[in-house]
Structure formats: C-alpha cells, structure tokens
Structure 1
C-alpha cells in the first residue's frame, strides 16, 4: 500500500493544469476550460475523472490524436436542436461549447438538445449537466466511449461505460445531480486503483478470462461489470443510440481507444439537453415541490446500519465544500506523474521541493 495523499489548493492545481495544456497548444481559454473541468471532478470526489486524466490527454495531444485548436461547426440546426462537429477537439472544450448552445436553445424554445460527433473523452459528465442549473434548467448529458463491455449474452467487448448525468434544480435544498456509468463502476476508478497499487472491491470487474477479480491490473485487462445485468446492457445500448448513432459518431468497437495503445482519434458521440423550468410552469413552484420531495426521501425510515439517506449528488456537494477548504488530495503516484509532466513543460508543480 502507498503512503497517503498530500493536499494542493484547488486554485493552484487549476493554474498548474491550465499552464500544462497551454504548453501543448491550447488557447488560454480552452486550457482553462479543461483544467476547470478536471479540478471540479477532483473537488467533487470524482477523482477518477480529475487531474488523473491529465497525462493521457497530454499524450494524445502530443501524438496528434486530439486537435488543440478545434473549429466546432454547426452541421444542422433548428429552433430547439443542433448537430455539431467537434473537430476532434479536447472533450471538455467541445462539451462546454455544446452545452452553452443547448442553453441558448432552451432560453428561446423552452427545451434544447445538441448532438456532437467527432468528440473525445470529456471527463466528468456532471460538469455539463451542472451548467444548466444556472439557467433554471434541468440538464442532461450522455456519451459513449471505447469498447469495454460485452452485450448481455456475448463475449466481445462492444460498449463503453456509457455514462449519463442529470442535474435538477431545487430551492432551499441542494440540486439533485445523478452522474453514473452504466457499469458498476467507472473504469477510471479501476485505473486509479491500479496506479496506486490497491485492490478493487469484489463485484466491480471480471478478468480477461471472465472471472471475478479484485486485482485492478487484471480488471483493466478484463471488463467492468454492467449495472443490473441485462437491464444495464439495455441502458448502455440506448445511450449508444442517443449519443453516437443519432450524431453519426463512431459506434462500439469503432470508437478509438483512450489508453490502450491509442493510434487514432476517438470519434466519440455526445448528447446534451436542457429543459427550462418556466416552459412548464412557475420555477419557484417546481423548486418547492423538489424541496418537498428531497425532504420526504431524506427523512424516511432508515435501514439497519444506515446513518443517513443521501440524495444523488449530495455527497459530491459536501465533498466539494470540504475540499475547497482543505485542498485537493493528490496521491503519491499521481504527484510524481504531475511533477514529471510539469518539469517536461517547464511548469513547476505546486508544492514541488
């Protein structure tokens, strides 16, 4: 087992990460967008999608597999919907631009939806759903990814972990934010465990022979386990349709690998959507009903051994508030990796001796 993490202030980590991406050809604005998205994931405790991803993003930029200066184009557009070509740009850059366009459509039409082709891994899905809350909208995003999971009854890897995120405004209570992979766990958590040298819980993954494993390295050679068996498979398939088939993006095994010997762009597909509350009634009344729902769920009888009933996103909001005070924990292996990346780019890592 490795030593514990050291803390880095979020602002310092974001500035460092911004400088790294600027050194690899991104504009100041785009570099800041990527860094902000990664550090937000760390702050919310989703460290599998935080600065842990910096190294692989930079490697793909160096190999020419990501376009550092994309020109996102509108291929098709209507009053409430649009299809964008992401021009193989950085995932968070393209996704942020797409969600902004969604919110423009929702302001005008009450609802908005944007599909994206030629995208890349965009990090924590909740980052884009959360943008909708500022506009009194319900936000939604879906994405596909590299083939990792076989369909129910099959043996060939076909689907990605195909996450979805939904953010719902509330009044006095915190928003409800569901951010989940359609596998038991996001692959990034297995990558993190392998990097830090600790086992994964039973039930997360199978090895290359299809056997349950708690060895993170064996799990990376195998496959994550879908949620809910055949129901999880069905959800994966529908997300593949809505994010990739609809957009004309790469599907299944045609999606480029992120980590495993990447040789081509990912060509990922995304879907972003927003529903403006006032299109269906008074936003204040909706938020009041949400508050009532949240309190009724939270205050219900607890199962034996359960100290508290959480709403989706509640742990993440509390973690974010705490880590903004305490700093982002950076584990030793990641600390060494970021320090090395900084030295290579001439950017000192915060706290480097």
Structure 2
C-alpha cells in the first residue's frame, strides 16, 4: 500500500509526496515510532459514521482502512463519514480520491499535519499544511480531482527545494522574523503562508478541528513532526467523507452530466495567452499517463537517498528498479 501510494504521487508529478518520503518512513520504523503489527480498527460505528483507531500503523495502511470503511458505509447509507486518530503521514490525498472515483463515488479527504503555518498575523507555526482533496467521477472527460494543501505550497515542496539547493517563490513562506524569503532553509525555520491569506487560515483551522479535535487525534502544535520528533508517534487525524452517487442519480446519468458540465467549462472564452482551460487534476492526469509511458524521472538527490537507504539493507537499487 505504501509503495503504491508513493509511486502514485510520483506518477502525478507530486514529487514532495513520492519516493522522496521513503527514507523517513523507514527511519521512523527503525526508531520504533511506527507500529507494524497492529491493524487499524473501528472504535465506534453508528449509522453512517465510524471512528477508526489507526494503532500508529503506516499512514497509507490506515488511510486505506478508512477509505474502505467510508465506501462501505456509503453503500449502506448513501453517505459514509469516517474519522481517524493515531495515524501517520499517509501520503498524497489524491491516492484515496482516485480509488473512490474508480468505484463511482465522490470522496472528500481531510488531514491535519505537524505545525508549519502560523495563523494570520502570527509568525510562529501552529497549524499544519492540512490538505484537502475532493474526487468526483466523470465519464469520457477526466475526473474532477482537487488535491491541495491549505498553504500556498506544501511543506514537502520546500523541503525538496532545500534538499536540491533550489530557491522558492517569495510568496510561499516567511522566515523566523516574519519576513518573506526565497531561501527554503529559512522557510523551514519560519512559517509557511496560507492560501488566500486569512481564508486559507480559516480553512486550515476547520480541517484541524475535524481531524484533530473531533476524532481525538492530536491538533495544532500537538501534532508531532515527521522529521524532527524522534520520541513520539505523530498521532495525525484524518476525515474521509464518501458519497454514493447512485443514491441521488443513476451513475451513468451523473457521469453524462459531469461530461457535459466539463465540456461547457472548456468552451468558456479564453484569455489571449491561454491555449486550453483545464479542470482540477487534469494536469496531473496527463503527467501520470506520460510517466506510465516513459517512466518516472527522479532527482539526483532522491536517487542518492534511495541508494543510501538500499545499501543499508544489502539491496542494489538499479537491480530492484529494473527487475522484470
């Protein structure tokens, strides 16, 4: 599940949540901060709702358990609302949204995250980048798949820039003194900026309340860092809200409506410099098709990290990658 999740992110061009995360996952397993032997399980299940204890398992394992629970509740009730506590970094939200789309369902995925973003007016991180993803199936047209952090940029992108020695746009983050910065290292010591200013701050807070306070997971500054805390489990919280389309319309009719709707959007008159109007997720879908055809490009830094990781286990990376 974890391998599929990481490769999914790289296929979509979301390098910050792809194989670059593998070394830190393994390091936390080695440090005894992730529990591999206990499966996630429901704590309560009432009507269309369920609360899952992730048992500190690998995040993708917990996420898949929550997704399957949400889809099953949706089949039974038309809607499934699943809260999760005691989880870990679970990869790209689009991984789960894509699976719900394939099942003909609508999915909303929320997660809180370690502190990286200050509230509007502050300079000290309190909220995570707290991502949100929404997947809605379509027929012949590409599915709607919105997957975004509530910060201008995901912290993983800044960490990747720091690893590769590249600069970042000045509107991504502030340094420890509250000043805009191009330096990813200063950004990591400072705070990310929310999308849309106070609007992104409000959205991030809402996600933290649902994923942290409502589920009994950690919230705000209590969510433990994936990279900097080597004493405590992360205790991340998630929310999966699944809707069974056929409770509202026959699936084929809904897919046809989605196709017609998307085509209308694409016919909107374009600005002079715009070649095509795209819908959320379409760029990533095209990247995925290209990468499946041509292979996934990895940065030299990620390759070096993977080689170092593999050498500790007596694995030849090139042989493992190209083994038929």
Partner of 1:196: 164
CA distance in 2, matches of 1:61, 1:222: 28
Distance 1:202 1:308, change over 3 A: farther
CA distance in 2, matches of 1:339, 1:155: 37
Bigger mean CA deviation after superposition, 280-289 or 86-95: 280-289
1:228 corresponds to 2:196: yes
SS in 2 for 1:330: coil
Matched residue pairs, number?
A: 321
Q: Is the 8 A contact 2:150 2:194 kept in 1?
A: yes
Partner of 2:35: 67
The correspondence of residues 75-86 of structure 1 with structure 2, limited to 5 A, is 75-86=43-54
Partner of 1:39: 7
1:298 corresponds to 2:266: yes
**CA displacement at 1:79 relative to structure 2:** 2.7
1:278 corresponds to 2:243: no
1:184 corresponds to 2:168: no
Q: Is the 8 A contact 1:256 1:262 kept in 2?
A: no
**CA displacement at 1:170 relative to structure 2:** 0.6
Q: Deviations over 1:42-95 (max 9, x none)?
A: 000011100000111111111111112222121110231110100001000110
Residue 116 of structure 2, aligned match among 148, 151, 155? 148
Q: Is the 8 A contact 1:161 1:186 kept in 2?
A: yes
Q: Is the 8 A contact 1:131 1:139 kept in 2?
A: no
**CA displacement at 1:343 relative to structure 2:** 0.9
Residue 118 of structure 1, aligned match among 77, 86, 90? 86
Q: Is the 8 A contact 2:88 2:234 kept in 1?
A: yes
Q: Is the 8 A contact 1:145 1:255 kept in 2?
A: yes
**CA displacement at 1:110 relative to structure 2:** 1.1
Residue 284 of structure 2, aligned match among 313, 316, 319? 316
**CA displacement at 1:351 relative to structure 2:** 5.6
Partner of 1:89: 57
Residue 137 of structure 2, aligned match among 143, 147, 169? 169
TM-score (norm 1): 0.88
Q: Which runs of 4+ in 1 moved over 4 A?
A: none
Partner of 1:30: none
Residue 255 of structure 1, aligned match among 220, 223, 240? 223
**CA displacement at 1:271 relative to structure 2:** 0.3
Q: Deviations over 1:86-114 (max 9, x none)?
A: 00010001101110111111111111111
Higher relative contact order (CA 8 A, sep 6+): 1
The correspondence of residues 92-103 of structure 1 with structure 2, limited to 5 A, is 92-103=60-71
**CA displacement at 1:342 relative to structure 2:** 0.6
**CA displacement at 1:168 relative to structure 2:** 0.3
Residue 300 of structure 2, aligned match among 325, 332, 336? 332
CA distance in 2, matches of 1:38, 1:62: 19
**CA displacement at 1:148 relative to structure 2:** 1.1
Partner of 1:51: 19
Bigger mean CA deviation after superposition, 70-79 or 312-321: 70-79
Q: Is the 8 A contact 2:105 2:244 kept in 1?
A: yes
Structure 2 gaps, min length 5: none
Structure 1 gaps, min length 5: 1-32
CA distance in 2, matches of 1:166, 1:253: 26
CA distance in 2, matches of 1:151, 1:145: 14
**CA displacement at 1:153 relative to structure 2:** 2.4
TM-score (norm 2): 0.96
Q: Is the 8 A contact 1:140 1:273 kept in 2?
A: yes
The alignment yields a C-alpha RMSD, in angstroms, of 1.4
CA distance in 1, matches of 2:127, 2:170: 22
CA distance in 2, matches of 1:309, 1:70: 46
CA distance in 2, matches of 1:69, 1:211: 45
